[in-house]
Structure 1
Amino acid sequence: MLFDMDGTLVDSERVWGIALAELAVHAGGVLSDTARLAMVGTSMATSMRLFRDDLGQPGRPEAPDVEWLTTRVQELFSEGLVWRPGAMELLLAVRAAGIPTALVTSTGRRLVEVALKTLGAENFDVVVCGDEVERPKPDPEPYRTAAALLGVPISSCVAIEDSPSGVASAFAAGARVLAVPAELALEPVDGVHLRSTLTGVDLEYLAGLLRSRHG
C-alpha cells in the first residue's frame, strides 16, 4: 500500500493554505486562490515559483521564503493534524493485515517527521519525502522508489492520492490508483478509480482494485 499524505491521510492542505497566505502578507502581497490551488500536490520548488509569479515578484529569493514557510507549517503541524474521513481506519486495517506500507509525499522530511506524530511512524515500513528524490511528483520516481524500498512490484501496489499531480505520479509509476479528491476536483481518468471519500474502503475493496488490473 502506498499512501500520499497531505489531503489524503490528513487535512493538512488547509494548514499549508494558512501558512502560504501568511507568507504572502509577509512578502507584501496577497496570494490568489488560483495560485494556491495550483500548488496542491506539487513540490516545494514548484510551489515557490507559483508563489513568486502570483505576487509579481519573480526575482524574490527562494531560500528565505522556504525557511519561513517550513517553520510556520511546522508550528501548525505540531498543534495536531486532522485525519481525512476513513483514512485512519483504512491505514490501521492495512497494518493489522501485515501489508507492506509506504508514505509517499511531496512534503520535506523535516515536516513529515512532525506529521508522523499524528500518523504514527510505526504505520509505515518506508517513508519517501519530496526532498529525498531527484524528480518529485508528478514524475513517477517517488512511487517507484517506494515500491523498490518495500521490495514489492509496483504493479502489485495500490496508491491512494488526492491531487492531479499525485495521481499522475502513481499512475505513471504503474501502481493501481485510488483517487480521493480533497482540495481539487479530479476528472475521471481511464485506469484510475475515483471515490469521494475513504470511508467504507476496506481490504476487500483494495484487493478488488488489484484484481481488476490483473483480471
Structure 2
Amino acid sequence: MLFDMDGTLVDSERIWGIALAELAVHAGGRLSETARLAMVGTSMAHSMRIFREDLGQPDRPEAPDVAWLSARVRDLFADGLVWRPGAMELLLAVRAAGIPTALVTSTGRRLVEVALKTLGAENFDVIVCGDEVERPKPDPEPYRTAAELLGVPIGSCVAIEDSPSGVASATAAGAAVLAVPAELELEPVDGVHLRTSLTGVDPLFLAGLLT
C-alpha cells in the first residue's frame, strides 16, 4: 500500500494554504486562489515558482521564502493534524492485515517527521519524501522508489492519492490508483478508481483494485 499524505491521510492542505497566504502578505502581496490550487500536490520548488509568478515577483529569492514557509508549516503541524474521513481506520486495518505500507509525499522530511506524530511512524515500513527524490511528483520516481524499497512489484501496489499531480505520478509508475479528491476536483481517468472519501474502504476493497 502506497499512501500520499497531504490531503489524503490528513487535512494538511488547508494548513499549507494558511501558511502560503501569510507568506504572500509577508511578501507584500496576496496569493490568488487559482495559484494556491495549482500548488496542490506539487514539489516545493514548483510551488514557489507559482508563488513568485502569482505575486508578480519573478526574481524574488527562493531560499528565504522556503525557510519561512517551512518554519510556519512546522509550527502549524505541531499543533496536531486532522485525519481525513476514513483514513485512520484504513491505515490501521492495512497494518493489522500485515500489508507492507509506504508513505509517499511531496513534503520534505523535516515536516514529515512532525506529521508522523499524528500519523505514527510505526504505521509505515518505508517513507519517501519530496526532498529525497531527484524528480518529485508528477514524475513516477517517488512511487517507483517506494515499491522498490518495500520489495514489492509496483504492479502489485495500490496508491491512494488526492491530487492530479499525485495521480499522474502513481499511474505512470504502474500502480493501481484510488483517487479521493480533497482540495481539487479530479477528472475521470482510465484505470483510476474515484471515491468521495476513504470511509468504508478496507483491505479487501483495495485487493479488488488489483484484479
TM-score (norm 2): 1.00
Matches within 5 A, 1:18-167: 18-167=18-167
Pairwise CA distance, 1:131? 0.1
SS at match of 2:210: helix
Amino acid at match of 1:207: A
Amino acid at match of 1:121: A
SS at match of 2:209: helix
Pairwise CA distance, 1:141? 0.0
Q: What is residue 179 of structure 1 aligned with on the other side?
A: 179
CA distance in 1, matches of 2:140, 2:203: 25
Amino acid at match of 1:14: R
Amino acid at match of 2:165: S
CA distance in 2, matches of 1:123, 1:204: 19
Pairwise CA distance, 1:203? 1.1
Identity rate, percent = 88
SS at match of 1:210: coil
The number of residues matched between the two structures is 211
CA distance in 2, matches of 1:188, 1:210: 18
SS at match of 2:127: strand
CA distance in 1, matches of 2:123, 2:60: 39
CA distance in 2, matches of 1:139, 1:203: 27
Pairwise CA distance, 1:204? 1.1
CA distance in 2, matches of 1:183, 1:157: 24
- CA-based RMSD of the aligned residues comes to 0.2
Unaligned ranges ≥5, structure 2: none
CA distance in 1, matches of 2:184, 2:96: 31
Pairwise CA distance, 1:6? 0.0
CA distance in 1, matches of 2:33, 2:198: 26
Unaligned ranges ≥5, structure 1: none
Cα distance per residue 1:73-124 (max 9 Å; x no partner): 0000000000000000000000001100000000000000000000000000
- Greater mean deviation of Cα atoms: 199-208 or 154-163: 199-208
TM-score (norm 1): 0.98
CA distance in 2, matches of 1:132, 1:2: 16
Amino acid at match of 2:187: E
Moved over 4 A (4+): none
CA distance in 2, matches of 1:189, 1:210: 16
Amino acid at match of 2:40: V
CA distance in 1, matches of 2:135, 2:203: 31
SS at match of 1:103: strand
Pairwise CA distance, 1:14? 0.1
